Amino acid sequence: MSSSRILLSWSSGKDSAWALKVLRERGDGEVVGLLTTLNATHQRVAMHAVREALLDLQAAAAGLPLWKVPLPWPCPDGVYEQLMSDVIARCRAEGITAIAYGDLFLEDIRAYRLSRHAGSGIEPVFPLWQLPTGDLARTMIQGGLKATLTCVDPKQLLPVFAGREFDEALLAELPGQVDPCGENGEFHTFAWGGPMFARPITIRKGEVVERDGFVFADLTAQPSVASEDP
């Protein structure tokens, strides 16, 4: 087995979660941490708008430390790139040899990541790259992944999908032009259960709001009965 140490770019969504499962099963390196960018103003995962407290629960359930990168809002490109350069430098210092991404087929995103890694000594890894997204979505669901849509782009998908569970029923109702994995930004998810976690995260669905041109379903952690016992 390779001795490579892998940091996984973690959006809190289904693709990141499935990438963790795939990487662990491949066994050609050890995932040693999760890397997440946060909107520092709102203390939520960038784009997905997932609360930081839920992110912490995910990391605990995955048994991995979190590398949090707080981003100002709005975040200028130069600031973002400097923060990511700092991450690369920390990777080298801590013996990380690769950063994995859950990207599926967007060539421009892949090219950007390759350019950021060039000459860094840190390998970019794409465990889900170009897997057919219809098949991948069904494989995730049949494999036990549990996720909820937290963000919908109303220009591509009706707002009523915000807060829906990512399941076979949802796939059947998606319009034909919408990618089954939402890779074109049609929707984002929060993964709360599945084989990549030691235990599921119980969530409560809150209000649905429209902000900055997107529709968000607010999720909070539902305390378990055991955690409420004295």
For residue 88, the model assigns a pLDDT of 96
The one-letter code for the residue type at 214 is F
Tens digit of each residue's pLDDT (9 = 90 or more) over 125-137? 999 999 999 999 9
Decide if pLDDT at 225 tops 50. no
pLDDT, tens only, 152-211: 999 999 999 999 999 999 999 999 999 999 999 999 999 999 999 999 999 999 999 999
Q: How far apart are alpha carbons 123 and 98 in whole angstroms? A: 4
Cα 26 to Cα 9: distance, rounded to the nearest angstrom = 17
Secondary-structure class of domain 5-224 per CATH: alpha beta
**Angle in degrees, 0-180, between the axes of helices 107-117 and 77-93, rounded to the nearest 10:** 60
